[in-house]
A = this chain, B = another copy of it.
Amino acid sequence: MLDSLFKPRAVALIGASTKELSIGNVIIKNLRRFDYKGTIYPINPKAPEIRGIKAYPSILDVPGDVDVCHIVIPPEMVPQAVEDCGKKGVKNVIINTAGFKEMGAEGEALQNDFVERGKKFGVRIFGPNCQGIINTDPEFKAYCDFTFTYPKPGHISIVAQSGGVGAVIMQNFFDLDVGMRMYASNGNACDISIPEIIRYWGNDDETRVIVLYVESLDDPKYFMDVAYEVAAKKPILAMNAGRTEEGAKAATSHTGGLAGGKATDLIFRKTGILAFDDAQEMCQAAVAFASQPIPRGKRVGMITNTGGPAIIATDTLVEGGLEIPPLSERAEKVLKETMFASASINNPIDVVATAGAPQFRSAVDVMMDEEQIDSVYINFVTPPFVDCESVARELAEVSKHKRKPIICNYMTDKPQWLETTKILNEGGIPCYDFPGTAAKALVALSKYHELRSRAKGNVRNFRDVDKGKAEAIINGAEKSGIGILSASDVYNILDAYKIPSASWKIVSSTDNAVAAAESLGYPVVIKADSPKIIHKSDAGAVAVNLKNSDEVRRAATEMEKKLSGKKFNFFVQKFLTGGKELIIGAKAEANLGHLVMFGMGGIYVEILKDVSFELAPVTDTEANEMINSIKMAPLLKGVRGQKGIFIKGAVEILERISQLVSDVPAIQELDLNPLFAFEDKIVAVDARIKI
């Protein structure tokens, strides 16, 4: 556990400096300014004291035990410093110094050196090239970091691979007057990792929400294990960083891990982490998560004392998938008694600008009592002619029972309405400056409800497959140094996993090709099958829609002529037409497993990029979701009186492909493109496997 890192009783600093504009000075200043409860040991071979604290020439001279030792000296001196820390029995070092793995081979060697020494002595290493940690717990007040925000205690913990993003997030909570629990930004993360920190916070009762910024995952499987475990206990909110190609390139440029894009997104969704495209939205959602219960559904009750912001909020809520249902007759009856004559007494309830505490209280009570309302959105502008403090008091009173989440767009000048602001704040009501911003926070709460209550489904285990055969084919190809499998290998593997394809035969002569065609039935397609012929169409190695033996013979003879000198077989396959074109594929991601893809083929994938992804192993629920989530899904299910395709068949193929790539992970890429989908069957008519 990381107790000695986040709850240090003594902090040392190798490289403590008397120079004010230096990291070695700023960290000491931060520890003091944050009122750190433990002992500080500046280490400096020359200075007798730093910022009035006695300094020691070496970590080995320090009289007491040391839980955390910062190292802020030049890179080449770091390995020896870690060794010294080991000898001293320091539990953790935070290496703020940069210039290691992120700078190339030489730096990496240095990093490996101190990692080894750390291991030898059992010293845990945080960093290098990092900011450090903060713990606002009043018992510790540990500020082992050179950044500049001094947060008050709270329930949000932040872990960020990038110190810059971590600082932005922490500062935003500070600006919003929202407390923070712990903070960690561990840069190169050579030892103590982000998943390890998340797991630690999973067991920290005071951490109610974890905010995560990660650009790349060194060990995606470990990350997933931890994410499953912790996300089951408390919300984890994360940025989708590097989701554009350019952004991902920027992210990978200084990391070796799995960066950005599709895979990270899928990992988040699969493990129950709520992902955001915008850091501000994520922060503002975190504020709501830290104090509000999760709504049980999508139905919002809106209360407003001004018209326009209700329109803006409605747009944003509806676009976010929420509903603003009408209220019951019972509710209307109550409101008719309590509201002003000019009020609007359905949903939204417009209490009007002159509404005071009784009107607001009645409106919010009604929303709490309505069965068909899951959450409450309030627009509260502070009119100078209304006793706003009383209004705030009523809202805070209702909020404290936490029956349903309350989100407030609070439109005011805070310095003028200081007391009102304080009452709302202490009542734990998340307040936002814009109707859309408040609405987005509520959308996030609701999306989280959906994410958490989503049935995971089951991974089907098909026992009718022949794993040994598939493995043998792949092993054989690997031994022969083949990258792209031959058609016969591909279709044999599909057959071994009972993945339906157009019937086929593999033969070695023109005569046998004709015989094969006769037995398969016309029309057929024939291909010159050899791992050496990659771009078959260009090479003249494909002839489609051959309708009789003459056409087959002619095509086969021509192929032999064109490809003379190359050794190949004839792959003869039933030529199918009609049906709707589908694509199913799988692709290996380093250290993670496979992404499985589903889409509509032809112009749909080309023009609309109409595809969906999941991480293998794909459950039955996920396979169905993959199909339902493409834009053209209604076409597959049947529109305009047309019958749909054999959805169950598509689900099963996705499950079987998922099992195949999980059983035989050497498969790097697999494409069934296209499959033809009919009402009663789906068959692959072209397939490709790369190992």
Hey, which bits of chain A sit against chain B, CB under 8 A? 21-23, 25-26, 29, 98-99, 103, 146-149, 160-168, 171-172, 174-175, 213, 215, 239-247, 250-251, 253-254, 260, 277-280, 304-312, 314-316, 318-319, 324, 342, 344, 348, 379, 381-387, 409, 411-413, 416, 433-437, 602-603, 606-608, 631-632, 634-635, 639-640
| Chain B residues, CB < 8 A from A164 | 304-309, 379, 381, 411
A279 touches B161 (CB 8 A): no
10 tightest A-B contacts by CB?
A162-B308, A164-B306, A165-B308, A247-B315, A244-B318, A247-B314, A280-B434, A26-B384, A21-B385, A164-B308
Alpha-carbon distance between A523 and B309 when the two chains are bound, in angstroms: 58
Contacts A244-B314, A311-B241, A635-B607 given; indicate if A148 touches B384 (C-beta within 8 A): yes
Alpha-carbon distance between A433 and B213 when the two chains are bound, in angstroms: 17
Q: Within the complex, what minimum Cβ distance (angstroms) separates A430 from chain B?
A: 16
Alpha-carbon distance between A607 and B162 when the two chains are bound, in angstroms: 42
Partner of A433, one of B166, B168, B436, B607: B168
A315 touches B241 (CB 8 A): yes
A631 touches B608 (CB 8 A): yes
Contacts A148-B412, A308-B241, A342-B98 given; indicate if A314 touches B635 (C-beta within 8 A): no
A22 touches B385 (CB 8 A): yes
A172 touches B247 (CB 8 A): no
A603 touches B635 (CB 8 A): yes
Partner of A250, one of B25, B167, B311: B311
Known: A241-B312, A245-B318. 19 other contacts (CB 8 A): A21-B384, A25-B385, A29-B384, A146-B383, A146-B384, A164-B306, A165-B306, A166-B308, A171-B411, A172-B433, A243-B315, A246-B315, A260-B311, A277-B315, A278-B436, A603-B632, A603-B639, A603-B640, A606-B639
A435 touches B640 (CB 8 A): no
Alpha-carbon distance between A396 and B433 when the two chains are bound, in angstroms: 29
Copy number of this protein in the oligomer?
2
Partner of A437, one of B280, B307, B308: B280
Alpha-carbon distance between A168 and B438 when the two chains are bound, in angstroms: 13
Alpha-carbon distance between A631 and B385 when the two chains are bound, in angstroms: 52
| Chain B residues, CB < 8 A from A308 | 160-166, 213, 215, 241
A-B contact pairs, 26 of them (CB 8 A): A21-B384, A22-B385, A103-B342, A146-B385, A161-B308, A162-B309, A164-B309, A165-B312, A165-B435, A167-B306, A168-B381, A171-B433, A172-B433, A239-B312, A241-B311, A246-B315, A246-B324, A247-B315, A250-B311, A254-B307, A260-B311, A277-B315, A280-B434, A607-B634, A608-B608, A608-B631
Alpha-carbon distance between A213 and B436 when the two chains are bound, in angstroms: 14
A434 touches B148 (CB 8 A): no
B175 touches A433 (CB 8 A): yes
B311 touches A247 (CB 8 A): yes
| Chain B residues, CB < 8 A from A160 | 308
Which residue of A241, A307, A386 has the most chain B CB atoms within 10 A of its CB atom?
Answer: A307
A21 touches B387 (CB 8 A): yes
A162 touches B608 (CB 8 A): no
Of all chain B residues, which has the CB nearest A414? Answer: B175
Contacts A103-B342, A315-B242 given; indicate if A307 touches B162 (C-beta within 8 A): yes
Alpha-carbon distance between A246 and B326 when the two chains are bound, in angstroms: 12
Alpha-carbon distance between A242 and B313 when the two chains are bound, in angstroms: 10
Partner of A318, one of B162, B163, B246: B246
Q: Within the complex, what minimum Cβ distance (angstroms) separates A347 from chain B?
A: 10
B174 touches A244 (CB 8 A): no
Alpha-carbon distance between A221 and B439 when the two chains are bound, in angstroms: 33
| Chain B residues, CB < 8 A from A434 | 168, 172, 278-280
Partner of A246, one of B243, B314, B387: B314
| Chain B residues, CB < 8 A from A608 | 608, 631-632
Alpha-carbon distance between A25 and B384 when the two chains are bound, in angstroms: 10
Which residue of A146, A278, A342 has the most chain B CB atoms within 10 A of its CB atom?
Answer: A278
Alpha-carbon distance between A308 and B98 when the two chains are bound, in angstroms: 15
Q: Within the complex, what minimum Cβ distance (angstroms) separates A159 from chain B?
A: 12
Alpha-carbon distance between A250 and B379 when the two chains are bound, in angstroms: 14
A280 touches B433 (CB 8 A): yes
| Chain B residues, CB < 8 A from A163 | 306, 308
Partner of A385, one of B23, B162, B381, B639: B23
| Chain B residues, CB < 8 A from A411 | 164, 167-168, 171
Of all chain B residues, which has the CB nearest A103? Answer: B342
Partner of A168, one of B260, B318, B435, B631: B435
Alpha-carbon distance between A384 and B163 when the two chains are bound, in angstroms: 14
Alpha-carbon distance between A603 and B642 when the two chains are bound, in angstroms: 11
| Chain B residues, CB < 8 A from A312 | 165, 239, 241, 247, 279
A416 touches B315 (CB 8 A): no
Q: Within the complex, what minimum Cβ distance (angstroms) separates A500 from chain B?
A: 25
Alpha-carbon distance between A468 and B324 when the two chains are bound, in angstroms: 50
| Chain B residues, CB < 8 A from A318 | 244-247
| Chain B residues, CB < 8 A from A260 | 311
A413 touches B168 (CB 8 A): no
A342 touches B639 (CB 8 A): no
Alpha-carbon distance between A309 and B213 when the two chains are bound, in angstroms: 11
| Chain B residues, CB < 8 A from A149 | 413
Q: Within the complex, what minimum Cβ distance (angstroms) separates A610 from chain B?
A: 9
Alpha-carbon distance between A246 and B22 when the two chains are bound, in angstroms: 56
Contacts A280-B437, A631-B608, A640-B606 given; indicate if A386 touches B21 (C-beta within 8 A): yes
| Chain B residues, CB < 8 A from A606 | 634, 639-640
Q: Within the complex, what minimum Cβ distance (angstroms) separates A511 from chain B?
A: 34
| Chain B residues, CB < 8 A from A310 | 250
Contacts A243-B315, A279-B435, A310-B250 given; indicate if A174 touches B631 (C-beta within 8 A): no
A412 touches B171 (CB 8 A): yes
